[in-house]
Amino acid sequence: MHKIFIDGRNGTVGLALEQRLAARRDIELLTLPDHLLLDAGARAEMLNSADLSFLCLPDEVAREAVARVTNPASVVIDASTAHRTKEGWTYGFPELGFTINDTTKRIANPGCHASGFIALVKPLVDAGLLPKSARLSCFSLTGYSGGGMLTIEQYESGARQRGDALAAPMQYALGQEHKHLPEMTAIPGLESPPLFCPVIADYYSGMEVTIPVAGLSRNAALDCYRDFYANAAMVRVIEPTGEPRPANHMSGRDSMELTVEGNDERLLLIARFDNLGKGASGAAVQCMNLAIGANETEGLVL
């Protein structure tokens, strides 16, 4: 039985991880009492006692936590942005060709927006259908749970009033410095970061990432995705329908669906998934399963 520790279990991702792991019989979930959650010594002891630890922490705190892991056998899955492009860390998206097994000790869980963008772009770049020099734009719509506990409290604190900013979809990170941009550039091998427009809306969870492109055949893009993800356990390619696609369609699920809408002159590359599922905790559990030798989709809702 594998000992698992969640450092930062009271945050959005930590709570979602606990929910996914609660019914597991192949792991022992280690916990600290509430009064020791901020105790650096107690946390370090737990990090080194566990076979695998999830870090659901702010970036700087995550870096400090990793520095305290001295047990060479301990596996760390970091859900922060601190290590996603750092040498020596495996990017936690195995469908993209990143190997995760019982020898992998440091895993950087992907960002939610980044997961959809990279899942759409990397296969096309690898196949030569998109040049690395492509200047892409990306629109990403997320439920408010993607903003963390404070944002959830703001959205769920009371009834909406006319004119309330939270009652309408809201653009944010307008300075083009969103924390996911480094991985959105580095992982698919782009030379320049995309123009990125993230939007948060008044629904709990679910994400829809859309990339408009021109000069690419829809069939070529779909065939590329079908081939690339032919053996993927948690990513599937669906047929274009031209019908409306609500962003909360995958809420409560841990898989991702991809498609290509439009025509051969103007395409929309679309990824839909749950920002707390394949965009966060679901992806982390998938990585844990591979690292401990369990079935890849154990405990996940597909």
Cα separation of 129 and 220, whole Å? Answer: 8
Catalytic one of 112, 138, 224, 287: 112
Q: List, in sequence order, every residue forming a beta bridge with 236; answer none if it has no partner.
A: 257
Q: Which amino acid is at 66?
A: V
Told to judge if 138 belongs to the known catalytic residues of this protein, a careful annotator would answer: no
Query: Which candidate, 150, 173, 245, places its Cα nearest to that of 207?
Result: 245
Question: How many Cα atoms occupy the beta-carbon half-sphere of 58 within 13 Å?
Answer: 4
Catalytic annotation, residues = 112
